[in-house]
Amino acid sequence: MTHILAIDQGTTSSRAIVFDSAMKIVASAQQEFAQHFPRSGWVEHDADEIWQTVVDTCRDAIAKADISAADIAAIGITNQRETVVLWDRSTGEPIHNAIVWQDRRTAEVCATLRQEGFEAEVTEKTGLLLDPYFSSTKVAWLLDEVEGARERAAKGDILFGTIDSFLIWKLTGGAAHVTDATNAARTMLYNIKSGAWDADICARLDIPMEMLPEVKDCAADFGETTPDLFGSPLPILGVAGDQQAATIGQACFEPGMLKSTYGTGCFALLNTGSTPVTSRNRLLTTIAYQFDGKPTYALEGSIFIAGAVVQWLRDGLGVIDHASETQALAEKADPTQELYLVPAFTGLGAPHWDPDARGAVYGLTRSSGPAEFARAALESVGFQTADLLEAMHSDWDGATSGEAVLRVDGGMSASDWAMQFLSDIIGADVDRPAILETTALGAAWLAGMRAGVYPDQAGFAQSWALDRRFSPKMPSEDRERRIAGWKDAIGRTLSRS
């Protein structure tokens, strides 16, 4: 029993990864599932389909690893956060499609609650902003729209959970209705300071507390899978939301340590230690991880478009066939042209939070072509990160102490060009680890540590290995000019400007 099975349930695909006793990946399986867009701005998933992809990929990964369930010491789960599932306690059937974190259907409700002055209380208690991104208003929407749901929820017959919670319910055959503190922290119903569901917020949104799961540490006993699923029962011993799992996988365990994950979007988390820091710059305060009942907090900045700007070059403009071609294009771009591409395709996230802004390109000349666009696209990710780090530094003194290093992961961190520009523009070292699967690694470590097969926190931190460090090379006057150019571009793009 030396292997660990990590389930990484993401927004577009489910993955299962088997790690061996040395925390090395031995096999993995991945399945995409359908995205449903019933109306403009609405995004749904079929939770049953997600469940099926999770079971299939787990079985597949176990088979590929050429082991049996009896060789697996524990399961760790990491998941897309905020997405809401409501299901029937007696049948385990979802009562509606899951409403995904990207879904904007509760924008008006949020605006009204904000006008009524509710945001201060929400931020004070949950560390979040009154935005449709988070779970709570989606839960309220479902209780309003599905006939009889609120009454049944009040009797405890309908349960709420984020994806981790729903998966655990299914994996354990309905034996456990639980979640972990990092997922709870994204619901906008959980008081991150007192560590409890907040009765006032639940009452204000008319959400019966009977439907909420029990909240546990990230490394805890979440239940055991039914024996029929994988051949023998497996304990679920680790759970964390995907961005928190990446923070853990990157071993950002000390205050001041910072990671940024570059997938479709980008999520940067700065460990601020045992005290929650309130942002003056509209960053989120969240729980990075929780052990022994003690939360460690983080400031989080979310950017909606990172790798997706590269997808746009491929699918929208058609100037590349593969994401990796951006490197060669950027290298041959005309150095005298300074294009600024603001990828506000779906509005701007932190620190601007402008849902109505739309994308723009500034500085075009007659000789601007694919190479200049590719370079501007990669640069936009660095500039957006610089905005987040500036906000973090202004929010928290600890962010500037010690050796400032940004640890990166996610698909886009494979781009050497983008990572060098990132280092140049933030003026700090950027470290890319040997294992880029940091999200799954984080979940696996939580479970393996709890099972006693993986090292403790200090030992795990020591095992973190560098692939490559990118250090700033850009002269400071160039950096200042480029940042000023970006700020000007952002200022022109904001819908309020």
Instruction: Please state the residue numbers annotated as binding site for glycerol.
Output: 81-82, 133, 242-243
What is the number of other CB atoms lying within 10 angstroms of the CB of residue 472? 17
Distance in angstroms (rounded) separating the CA atoms of residues 253 and 137:
32
Q: Which helix (H) or strand (E) holds 311?
A: helix 307-311
Q: Quick one: 134 or 486, whose CB is closer to ligand G3P?
A: 134
Q: Which of 30-45 are b and which e, b meaning 16 or more Cβ less than 10 Å from the residue's Cβ? A: ebebeeeeeeeeebbb
Q: State the minimum distance, in angstroms, from the CB of residue 236 to ligand ADP.
A: 22
Q: Quick one: 264 or 385, whose CB is closer to ligand ADP?
A: 264
81 binds, among ligand G3P, ligand ADP, none (CB under 5 to 8 A by kind): ligand G3P
Q: What are phi and psi of 215, to 5 degrees?
A: -100, 130
Widest CA span of the chain, in angstroms?
67
Q: Residue 305's beta-bridge partner residues?
A: none
Distance from first CA to last CA of the chain, Å, rounded?
A: 59
Which residues would be at the binding site for ligand ADP (CB under 6 A)?
Answer: 10, 12, 263-264, 307-308, 310-311, 323-324, 326, 410-412, 414-415, 418
Retrieve residue 443's tokens. Answer: 């979940």
Q: Is residue 82 at the binding interface for ligand G3P, with CB under 6 A as the rule? A: yes
Q: Quick one: 264 or 272, whose CB is closer to ligand G3P?
A: 264
Q: Residue 49's beta-bridge partner residues?
A: none
Give residue number: closest CB to ligand ADP. Answer: 411
Position 261, amino acid: T
Q: Which of 304, 266, 261 is nearest to 436 (CA)?
A: 261
Q: Quick one: 10 or 355, whose CB is closer to ligand G3P?
A: 10
Q: State the minimum distance, in angstroms, from the CB of residue 438 to ligand ADP.
A: 10
To which residue do tokens 């933030």 refer?
426
Q: Residue 28's beta-bridge partner residues?
A: 17
Beta-carbon contacts of 431 under 8 Å, excluding residues fewer than 6 positions away, are 405, 406, 407, 408, 466, 468, 469, 470
Retrieve residue 250's tokens. Answer: 């990157």
Question: Residue 296 to residues 254, 390, 465: CA-CA distances in angstroms?
Answer: 10, 22, 23
Site for ligand G3P in 214-273 (CB under 6 A): 241-243, 263-264
Q: Quick one: 263 or 355, whose CB is closer to ligand G3P?
A: 263
Q: Which helix (H) or strand (E) holds 433?
A: strand 429-433
Q: Is residue 166 at the binding interface for ligand G3P, with CB under 6 A as the rule? A: no
136 binds, among ligand G3P, ligand ADP, none (CB under 5 to 8 A by kind): none
400 binds, among ligand G3P, ligand ADP, none (CB under 5 to 8 A by kind): none
Q: State the minimum distance, in angstroms, from the CB of residue 48 to ligand G3P.
A: 19
Q: State the minimum distance, in angstroms, from the CB of residue 83 to ligand ADP.
A: 14
Q: Quick one: 260 or 264, whose CB is closer to ligand ADP?
A: 264
Distance in angstroms (rounded) separating the CA atoms of residues 233 and 410:
32
Contact window for ligand G3P (CB under 6 A) among 28-36, 77-85, 106-114, 230-238: 77-85
Q: State the minimum distance, in angstroms, from the CB of residue 272 to ligand G3P.
A: 19
Q: State the minimum distance, in angstroms, from the CB of residue 369 to ligand G3P.
A: 31
Q: State the minimum distance, in angstroms, from the CB of residue 484 to ligand G3P.
A: 31
Site for ligand G3P in 90-129 (CB under 6 A): 101
Q: Quick one: 36 or 89, whose CB is closer to ligand G3P?
A: 36
Residues in contact with ligand G3P by the rule CB under 6 A:
10-11, 80-82, 101, 241-243, 263-264
